[in-house]
Amino acid sequence: MQGYTQLIEKMLDAPNIEVQLDCEALCVVTPDTCGKFKKIFHTGPIDEFFGYKYGTLPYRSLKFETQVLDTEYYQNNSVINYPCNYDFTRIHEFKYYLNEKSPKTVIAREYPEKFEIGKNDRYYPEISSESLSLYDKYVQSAKSIGNIFFLGRLGSYKYLDMDKAVEQAIAFLGK
């Protein structure tokens, strides 16, 4: 009810949670070091955790091109989708989020692109029978470790909005 920030803050304030900053998660927890921990909840890419030993799971990424425009508003809403009209898929106009008043506006066009390790970020899993078969190999590797659980969009290789990711975590904890 109080938003995602407070939800995360309360989780991190729990006495049995240790927060480590300025370190990569994969430097602390690897398939070989999982035994040092009682339980591990990993929300990063499952294929990356296992060193891509079965291959890379396919994802679609995004590229954003931002413009500052000399107009009060560019469009009538914060986000307008263009699924088939152009090479970009949507335009964001940020001033709508906080009801900003300004004679100028900032927009960003969102372009889909293939995910490439080290070049861009994973956004949307590309689900197919082949990718699900590859994902299942990683799931079996996780099961052989036993105390690691992969959650979230990257860990479970599913498209999840934030509300669904929180719902997934709550459902998991209720097991």
Query: Domain residues of the chain, as ranges?
Result: 4-58+126-173, 59-114
Confidence bin at 63 (pLDDT 50/70/90): very high
Tokens 């009060």 correspond to 72
Confidence bin at 175 (pLDDT 50/70/90): low
4-58+126-173 CATH: 3.40.50.720
Q: How far is CA 74 from CA 22, 93, 105, 111, 172, in A?
A: 39, 7, 7, 18, 43
- The answer for residues whose C-beta is within 8 angstroms of residue 43's C-beta and 6 or more apart is 150, 151, 152, 153, 154, 155
Q: What predicted TM-score, i.e. pTM, was given to this entire model?
A: 0.77
> What do you get for the CA distance between the two ends of the chain, in Å?
23
Neighbours of 42 (CB within 10 A): 20
What is the tens place of the pLDDT at every residue in 148-164? 889 888 999 999 888 88
pLDDT at 23 over 90: no
pLDDT at 80 over 90: yes
